[in-house]
Amino acid sequence: MKTDILVIGAGPVGLFTVFEAGLLGLKCTLIDNLDKPGGQCAELYPDKPIFDIPGVPFQTAQEHVDALLKQIEPFDYELVLNERVESMKEVDNGWEVITNNNNKFDCSNVFIAAGAGSFEPIKPNLDCNFSNLENKKIFYSIKDKNLFKNKRVAIFGGGDSALDWTVELEKIGANVSLIHRRDAFRGAPDTEATVRDLHKHNKIKLLTPYIIKDIKGSEDIECITIFNADTKEDSEIEADYILFFYGLNKKLGPINDWSLELAGNKIKVNTENFETDREGIFAVGDINTYPGKLNLILSGFHETTLAVQKAFQRVNPGERVPFGYTTSSTKLHEKLGFSDNK
Ligand SMILES: Cc1cc2nc3c(=O)[nH]c(=O)nc-3n(C[C@H](O)[C@H](O)[C@H](O)COP(=O)(O)OP(=O)(O)OC[C@H]3O[C@@H](n4cnc5c(N)ncnc54)[C@H](O)[C@@H]3O)c2cc1C
């Protein structure tokens, strides 16, 4: 199905694009390679306060993302997570965007809101090849926790994700082993205390200081070898699934291959409508550059607001871009599902 605007990246700027496009009656599809929307705000600093969102004196970064998601609720948009956009090709009146899962999306406009590039999970550095087990038995994020119900799950990592999922999966009956290279965690102290309590009551296994050494198995995981950093001894554990929560690397990703004019790692745009040197491809937010560019959320909001005007003209050639204040336009109130009687 053809969408009006295909947005690469569901960070704050990608999310706000849905709002501004929605006001003009345009439909967006957002694709992000992370397992949740919110980009840097949700991934890098969810609990940190932001003080420079206009009209919002204080919000944590996650609260900001939640507010943006609330703000776009009235609009019909599609959010595709856990997929990375790999390539784009020009088709009749628009673009075809292709992801790493070979899903194809036809669209009239592409908005690259890819921030600092794609975040990729850090994988363990092992001699064995375990790629055949990836996305079947080995995961770096969780799409559906029910997969792990009543299963043996080995979780590796020492941050919030490792701790949170240990607690969550134990709750749904998974037999969890949490393995970390030292007996100290980087995550929330409260969750760490819960994990230690679960271990004390034999509800989970906490194995420290261990690092993973080997994984055996082709269709299923047959055994996992772990190495004790204190005793220098190997031991074996069994699991149906492995979850690695070693954090994320920021990578520019495939943007380099999209034949767009770049300046360093950034995409060059004009400041009238933030279009790149290719018609119908726009770059908004941290990914773009122009004289005076600031990597701030509010700059990205401004950029995408102007970019959707041009996107509207491409979808509706010859039509005037409608302009209205959200305070007083009854048409906009209808789109926002707002009635004076409410
Ligand atoms: C610690 C910290 C504090 C900050 N504090 C502030 C502040 O107080 N005020 C402020 O205004 N700004 C702040 N910023 C900057 C702000 O977070 C960024 O300006 C903002 O996140 C940019 O939004 P974005 O939507 O352009 O990109 P991002 O938030 O980076 O989101 C881009 C998304 O695109 C995805 N992506 C990239 N490539 C692909 C691909 N090929 N396929 C699919 N998905 C892809 C990424 O996974 C990511 O989720 C801070 C940044 C940091 C790190």
pLDDT per position as a tens digit, 227-281: 999 999 999 999 999 999 998 877 766 777 788 999 988 999 999 999 999 999 9
Whether the predicted pLDDT of 1 surpasses 70: no
CA of 163 to the centre of ligand 1 (A): 24
In this predicted structure, what is the pLDDT of residue 117?
Answer: 83
CA of 296 to the centre of ligand 1 (A): 9
CA of 43 to the centre of ligand 1 (A): 9
Which residues lie with the beta carbon below 6 Å from any ligand 1 atom? 8-14, 31-34, 39-41, 44-45, 48, 50, 52, 84-85, 113-119, 253-254, 285-286, 295-298, 300
CA of 326 to the centre of ligand 1 (A): 27
In this predicted structure, what is the pLDDT of residue 47?
Answer: 79
| Nearest Cα residue to atom 35 of ligand 1 | 9
User: Stretch 30-39: mean pLDDT, rounded?
Assistant: 93
Whether the predicted pLDDT of 219 surpasses 80: yes
| Nearest Cα residue to atom 6 of ligand 1 | 50
Distance CA 3, CA 107 (A): 5
User: Which residues touch 280 (CB under 8 Å, ≥6 apart)?
Assistant: 94, 95, 108, 109, 110, 314
User: Stretch 196-207: mean pLDDT, rounded?
Assistant: 98
Burial of 188 (0-12, 13-18, 19+ CB in 10 A): middle
Q: Which of 40, 47, 295 to mutate to test the pocket of ligand 1 (most atoms within 8 A of CB)?
A: 40
Whether the predicted pLDDT of 211 surpasses 70: yes
Whole-model pTM: value is 0.78
| Nearest Cα residue to atom 38 of ligand 1 | 118
> Which atom, in ligand 1's list, is nearest to the CA of 83?
43
3-class SS at 229?
coil
In this predicted structure, what is the pLDDT of residue 342?
Answer: 53
Q: 100-155 pLDDT, tens per residue?
A: 999 999 999 999 999 988 777 899 999 999 999 998 999 998 878 899 999 999 99
CA of 315 to the centre of ligand 1 (A): 28
Q: What is the mean pLDDT of the chain?
A: 94
In this predicted structure, what is the pLDDT of residue 141?
Answer: 82
Which residue segments constitute the domains of the chain, with CATH numbers given?
A: 2-119+249-335 (3.50.50.60), 123-246 (3.50.50.60)
Distance CA 323, CA 248 (A): 41
| Nearest Cα residue to atom 1 of ligand 1 | 45
Q: At 151, which amino acid appears?
A: K
14 sits in which H/E element: helix 12-23
